[in-house]
Structure 1
Amino acid sequence: MKPVFKDSPSFFRNIGIILALFLLVIGIVIPLLLIFWQSVSTGQGLDLLAPIRTIAGHDLSSVLFQTIWLGVCVVAGTTLLALPLAWIMSKTRLGQHRWIDVVLMIPFMTPPYIGSMGWILFMQKGGYLQQWLPGSAALSDSFFSFGGMVLIMCLHLFPFLYLLLRDAIIRIGGNLEEAGAVHGASSGYRFRRIMLPLLLSSYGMGAMLVFVKTIAEFGTPATFGRRIGYYVMTSEIHKYISSWPIDFGKATSLASILLSVCLVMWYMQSTISRRFTYRLVGGKGQRSKRYALRGLTGAASVVYLALLLIFSIGIPYFSVIVASLMKLRGAGLAWDNLTLDHYRDLLTWGSVSMKALGNSLGLSLAASTIAVVLGTGFALAVGKSQKRTQRVIDLFSLLPNTVPGIVMVVGLILFWNSPWLPATLYNTYGMVVLTYVVLFLPYTVQYVKANFTQIDGSLFQAGQVFGGGPLLIMRRILLPLIVPGMLAGWIMTFTISVRELVGSLLILPPSMQTSATYIFAQFEQGQVSLGMAMAVVSVGMTVALLLVVEALKSNRKWNAS
């Protein structure tokens, strides 16, 4: 796409592109390159196989295989959960209830470590399940295993795959299936020869996302995985960086291998998408047939949806809320054992918890504001990505979404703690804000770019024809049209920064806490009620912010503007 302001001097346009590339290289590319450099540089020179030798020589290969196996099992589990749900919501009358889709996004919006803590409280010895069913001790014991860890992660990640599969099934429509039925194909044959090939591209993308998010996840392995003795790459990287003796050699070796696995998965997914992508939109359009819920099929669909909501939302949130209200954990579930004292202690002005909450809000506010300014600039520089420099900016700005968060944090630590820097941000509040900005910058870039690429260039030409200068066109045409994308990017960055755990654990200055690290510390130290009260407050603030934004979006004056 041509620049927005065609008559503006090319010098300033080039300066903007160079500045965008410089910031992205400094903030994202160089930290990632330092991970590879640190992992392959030895006392004898460069050794490209050094990360593999480090892992094999220190008995870390089992951690790599455990990580990959966990990713494979979670992909299989999310497929079993998401595929029937996608069919139900796209082919039955239940899909007409839009509130179900909103509710199904709650697991995704819930921080993984909070959901894991809720399941631990529910299933542990003397937990809520055993208080209701004293004979369920055997079930609780079997839950604390690899299978239980897979279940928890599947219940958190299945919305990714579900949304992609549901939209793909809707796009396929009912015409192709009807054509197969007219020619005598059975339902199984139609599913195998029509539906599956057309779903493969979307499924490949969703499965890759689930796999990458699984192997990059830190919260669940740090809470549930540590309890059952199942260690993965992210938990080991955190151990070598945060526990004495600190070993950056092993940490960077694990980080480079983890990054390589993620990049290979992205390449495989893009190959599958190119090979199995079909055009389904024609001049006649598509219509999707919905089946009435009758008999056994209807009852099974409703029961399946209800069980999925109970397991993914009901149990974790019930455990978290009850734990935050309980006076004494040993007294069990009883009305006289519930209190609001933990919330009063949590929200007492000047307390450690209030300082942690204030730190989260302040850091997230600064990070989201900086991210929306930088992300908007990068998105405008990218345009429709026709030039090579624009494609490079687009690629670099989206790298943090491809790279596991803990890998990105390790790279930032290596770069900003380098002795050759004249000044360093490491161990300062600025380092925390920078980390949040880098990790969540892609959200703003994507949202703003989506709005910007839909703007017809004739609008800017019309503004120039009527004598509008660059600043007037930007203020009266460009900004009003991209403000929704900027707002969406700001909200996403703010809400995720408030709950960010792995980056906060690794780069927070001493004696400083955020709401996420406070929850994690209280749970580890046995102060479960205070930690769960903080979890309820944090999630509640996120939900309240989203509701306010939805109210603004539905307001007629907002829409008119």
Structure 2
Amino acid sequence: MSRKIHWDFWTGITLLSIGVFTLFLIYPLFSLFVSAFQDPDTGAWSMQNFAHFFDRKYYYQSMINSFSVTTCVTILAVIIGTIVAYFMTLYKIKFKNVVEICIVISLLSPPFIGAYSWILIGGRNGYITRFLAEYGIDFPSIYGFAGILLVLTLKLYPFIYLYVAGAMKNIDSALIEAAESLGCSGIRKVITIIVPLITPTILAGALMVFMNAMADFGTPMLIGEGYNVMPVMIYSEFINEVGDQANFAAAMAALMVLITSTIFMLQKYIVNRKSFTMSSLRPMQVGELHGWKKAAVHLFIYLLVALSLIPQLVVIYTSFLKTSGSIFVDGYSLDSYRTIFENLGTAISNTYLFSTTAMVVIIFLGMTIAYLTTRKKSWLTDLIDTLSMFPYIIPGSVLGITLLLAFNEEPLLLSGTAAIIIISLIIRRLPYTLRSSSAILYQLSPSMEEASISLGASPLKTFFKITAVMMLPGVMSGAILSWITAINELSSSIILFTGATKTMSVAIYTEVIRASYGTAAALSTILTLTTITAMVIFFKVSGRHDVTL
């Protein structure tokens, strides 16, 4: 006898969740792969697009370049982030709270602003380039592989820092004391005890760095100059669409999905084999550095943070400079701000409107889906939990292409509308809020909900009056961080936008391409100050003084 479905609010949420993921994630991915295997001329099934990619070095070299720069960025970020986390966690560092806030700000600011800033600093007409040229010294080129490596490493090492710092706080000092009592000290103690304990965490952080570096579009587009990587190649082929290149771009996008999926699954396999739980009954004591070691560590950390913050400081400074056309001239002025409010005001309002709308939907879906997957487990909720992982491994530019391919014709024509940009933001940011909501729910005892129901409240009323209220502070703090990344989104927006739906990040990119550096700096300053303001609100809402991942 078949089991009768019990229709209630949670059944509706289950169906809604499956519908959202199916319509806006699975169906677009299916459209992407269908397009990738279609002959551009006849529409027949064919491997021609993939053969074309691997036949020409111009194309497959972009994959090699992507792996080269991404691997180097990941290695450097792991080394730098782990060293900073080690000293910041185990030793007294002056102005530690300020340093941590600066590190987080550098993480949450968009990397393409970093690329643009380094062009102003070390480009062909940059400040340092001109200064050194007066003394006959050539400043190393900021363009190509080296520039991409510099920008992305300074942008992404905070991921490793935040992950590793959180893990090191959970190491029990008894393990360290036992090692020291057996004669293990100094660098040997770090290599044989601390590093193995935090290896799973380092791998998780390295995956975040790798995925972000692999998917980044703005940095290599601005300063790559011939050093083509996959996201730039996909974008170029897709927007040109000369001779039906959309199918070829879809094939490259499909390859990126396969690459990132494979790396993600490999990382999950390794972490699952090496994972364990640490219970810090006695956290490691914070020590004191002395003499030259103290000076060297402080100098290293302060210089690193200063380099990380240079992009924000440069754009704020240059936004107040006078401009003549696209050239900065002597003197200060608010002309750049007048220009953007007169001509690009829509981009500013669009950014806040789209991101806030997306966050409202994300908070609702994140809380309700998290409740389903933690409190009402079934094969359907397990399916939803699995589907929610997919956006982790889809680069923004690829997501933009999948949505355009899926919703570019009737009956669901969304291309060119604000809705498609909001959907992309929801799909990309929902997993983060979903994971933080689930973590909060695991910390809340079900007994409080049971007590409410035993007193006559319905399960639905209990959720909204009890559970949701207890979840909200943690969910809101996570949503604020997601909102910050949403306002800085470029990879998918650059493919989905039209003149009426342009956002600030897209406007900054287009202004830099046009060499309108004054207006680009003014827009970047607004975006940077918005990020800092949102960070202050995050610290107030969460009651924390740091950000843990």
**Structure 2 residue 343 is the aligned partner of structure 1 residue 345:** no
| AA at the equivalent of 2:239 | S
Equivalent of 2:271, from 270, 273, 278?
A: 273
Partner of 1:190: 189
Amino acid corresponding to residue 232 of structure 2 in structure 1: S
| CA spacing shift, 1:461–1:101, aligned 2, 3 Å | same
1:36 aligned to 33, 38, 51, which one? 33
1:207 Cα shift? 1.4
Whether contact under 8 Å (1:130, 1:137) holds in the other structure is no
Tell me the distance in 1 between the aligned counterparts of 2:132 and 2:326.
Answer: 16
- Aligned counterpart, 2:291: 295
Question: How far did residue 134 of structure 1 move?
Answer: 4.0
What is the CA–CA distance in structure 2 between the aligned matches of 1:44 and 1:541, rounded to whole Å? 47
| Map of 2:228 onto structure 1 | 231
Segments of structure 1 that go 5 or more residues without pairing to the other structure are 1-7, 556-561
- CA distance 1:442–1:244, shift in 2 (3 Å): same
Counterpart-to-counterpart distance in 2, 1:342 and 1:172: 51
8 Å Cα contact 1:346/1:354 also seen in 2: yes
Distance 2:120 2:37 in 1: 43
**Secondary structure in 1 matching 2:411:** coil
Q: Structure 1 residue 324: deviation in Å?
A: 0.9
Counterpart of 1:508 in structure 2 is 497
User: Which residue does 1:306 correspond to in 2?
Assistant: 302
How many equivalent residue pairs?
A: 536
Deviation at residue 18 of structure 1 after TM alignment: 2.3
- Structure 2: which amino acid aligns with 1:99? V
Displacement after TM superposition at 1:534 (Å): 0.9
Whether the 8 Å CA contact 2:105–2:532 is kept in 1: the answer is no
* Amino acid in the other structure paired with 2:165: R
Change (3 A) 1:423 1:331: closer
Partner of 1:254: 252
1:153 aligns with 2:152: yes
Question: Counterpart of 2:170 in 1: which secondary structure?
Answer: helix
Shift of 1:11: 5.2
Per-residue displacement from partner, 1:74-129 (whole Å, max 9, x unpaired)? 01211231121111112211288333222211111111111110111001133221
- C-alpha separation in 2, matches of 1:98 and 1:280: 25
SS of the residue 1:94 aligns to: coil
Structure 1 pair 232–303 and aligned structure 2 pair: CA distance change class (3 A): same
Alpha-carbon distance, 1:29 to partner: 1.3
Asked if 1 retains the 8 angstrom alpha-carbon contact of 2:62 and 2:228, the reply is yes
Q: 1:457 to 1:537 in 2, by over 3 A?
A: same
Q: In structure 1, what is the equivalent of residue 547 of structure 2?
A: none
Q: Please say if residues 83 and 162 of structure 1, whose CA atoms lie closer than 8 Å, have aligned partners that are also in contact.
A: yes
- The residue number in structure 2 matching 1:559 is none
1:451 and 1:482 in contact (8 A); partners too: yes
What is the rounded CA distance, in whole Å, between the counterparts of 2:327 and 2:512 in structure 1? 18
Q: Which amino acid aligns with 2:153?
A: C
1:381 maps to which residue?
A: 372
The alpha-carbon distance between structure 1 residues 137 and 266, as it changes in their structure 2 partners (threshold 3 A), is farther
- One-letter amino acid matched to 2:175: L
Deviation at 1:266, TM superposition (A): 0.9
Residue deviations 1:261-302 (CA, integer Å, cap 9, x gap): 1111111211221222234327xx233033212111111100
Amino acid at match of 1:533: A
Deviation of 1:204 after TM superposition, in Å, equals: 1.4
Structure 1 residues 312 and 181 mapped into 2: Cα distance closer, same or farther (>3 Å)? same
Partner amino acid, structure 1, of 2:129: Q
Deviations along 1:177-224, one digit per CA (max 9) or x if unpaired, are 332232233534333322232222112111121111111111101111
Amino acid at match of 1:124: G
CA distance in 2, matches of 1:520, 1:118: 12
Aligned equivalent of 1:326: 321
Query: Are 1:422 and 2:411 counterparts?
Result: yes
- 1:358 counterpart letter in structure 2: S
2:507 alignment counterpart: 518
- Post-superposition offset of 1:45: 5.6
Q: How far did residue 70 of structure 1 move?
A: 0.9
Q: Distance in 2 between matches of 1:151 and 1:176?
A: 37
**% same residue:** 23
Quick check: 164-173 or 9-18, which moved more?
9-18
Tell me the equivalent position of 1:205: 204
Matched, 1:26 2:15: no
**2:34 is equivalent to residue 14 of structure 1:** no
Going from structure 1 to structure 2, the CA distance change for 1:218 and 1:136 (only over 3 Å counts) comes to farther
Whether the aligned pair in 1 keeps the contact of 2:326 and 2:518 (CA below 8 Å) is: no
Gap regions ≥5 residues in structure 2? 545-549
2:193 and 2:375 map into 1 onto residues whose CA distance is: 34
Deviation at 1:168, TM superposition (A): 2.5
Specify the code of the residue in structure 1 equivalent to 2:466.
I
Q: Which residue of 2 aligns with 1:473?
A: 462
Deviates more, 1:51-60 or 1:210-219: 51-60
Q: 1:451 to 1:189 in 2, by over 3 A?
A: closer
1:498 partnered with 2:487 = yes
Preserved contact between residue 198 and residue 277 of structure 1 (Cα < 8 Å): no
Q: Which moved more, 1:453-462 or 1:488-497?
A: 488-497
> CA–CA distance in 2 between the matches of 1:104 and 1:186?
30
Residue 553 of structure 1, CA deviation: 5.2
Matched position secondary structure for 2:388: helix
Residues 1:68 and 1:534: Cα distance change in structure 2 (over 3 Å): same
* 15 and 50 in structure 1: CA distance in 2 versus 1, 3 angstrom threshold: farther
Q: 536, 539, 547: which one pairs with 1:547?
A: 536
Paired residue type of 1:415: A
1:316 maps to amino acid? P
Q: Would the alpha carbon gap of residues 272 and 32 (structure 1) be closer, same or farther in structure 2, given more than 3 Å must change?
A: same
Alignment of 1:319-468 (within 5 A): 319-328=314-323, 337-347=331-341, 351-383=342-374, 386-417=377-408, 419=409, 421-468=410-457
